């Protein structure tokens, strides 16, 4: 069974640009969540989607958005990139959205903003 797939693995962008990251969950998983990982702030929750609906959102500006498609694949978009957006963006999937659900993570997309 294939794991969580995130593309691309690496991205280099410049300030002011926008970027779209993609996440394909494990087959059969309907919940997808996104986390930002930086050396200073650690792992921070961005948002969670279940059945194409955003169920929860972290404390990030509106420049960060996401969506989920009917096949459970998810994308997140960051507009007007800032230097501080440089981070590893991790996607995780789970069967459902319960609090006891194990999350299965992808290897992440390393975003560098110059």
Cα–Cα distance, 102 to 100 (Å, whole number)? 6
60 sits near other proteins (criterion: CB under 8 A):
no
100 sits near other proteins (criterion: CB under 8 A):
yes
Cα–Cα distance, 9 to 111 (Å, whole number)? 9
Q: Work out the widest C-alpha separation in the chain, in whole angstroms.
A: 39
Give helix then strand counts, H and E, for the chain. 0, 11
Q: What is the DSSP string of 18-30?
A: -EEEEEEPPTT--
Structural contact between residues 92 and 107, judged by C-beta atoms closer than 8 angstroms? no
Among residues 24, 26, 106, 113, which is the contact residue for other proteins, using CB under 8 A? 106
Closer of 17 and 101 to other proteins (Cβ) = 101
Among residues 32, 48, 85, 113, which is the contact residue for other proteins, using CB under 8 A? 48
Smallest gap from Cβ 77 to other proteins, in A, equals: 19
Among residues 3, 8, 16, 61, which is the contact residue for other proteins, using CB under 8 A? 3
Among residues 77, 107, 112, 114, which is the contact residue for other proteins, using CB under 8 A? 107
Q: How far apart are the first and last CA of the chain?
A: 37
Residues forming contacts to other proteins in the complex (CB under 8 A) are 3-4, 33, 35, 42-43, 45, 48, 50, 55-56, 58, 88, 90, 92, 97, 99-100, 102-108, 110
């Amino acid at each position: 069974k294939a794991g969580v797939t995130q593309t691309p693995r690496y991205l280099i962008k410049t300030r002011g640009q926008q970027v779209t990251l993609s996440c394909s969950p494990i087959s059969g998983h309907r919940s997808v969540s996104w986390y930002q990982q930086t050396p200073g702030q650690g792992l921070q929750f961005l948002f969670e989607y279940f059945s194409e609906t955003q169920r929860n959102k972290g404390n990030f500006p509106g420049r960060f958005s996401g969506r989920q498609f009917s096949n459970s694949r998810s994308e997140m978009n960051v507009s007007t990139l800032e230097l501080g957006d440089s981070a590893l963006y991790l996607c995780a999937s789970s069967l459902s959205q319960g609090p006891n659900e194990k999350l299965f993570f992808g290897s992440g997309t390393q975003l560098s903003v110059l």
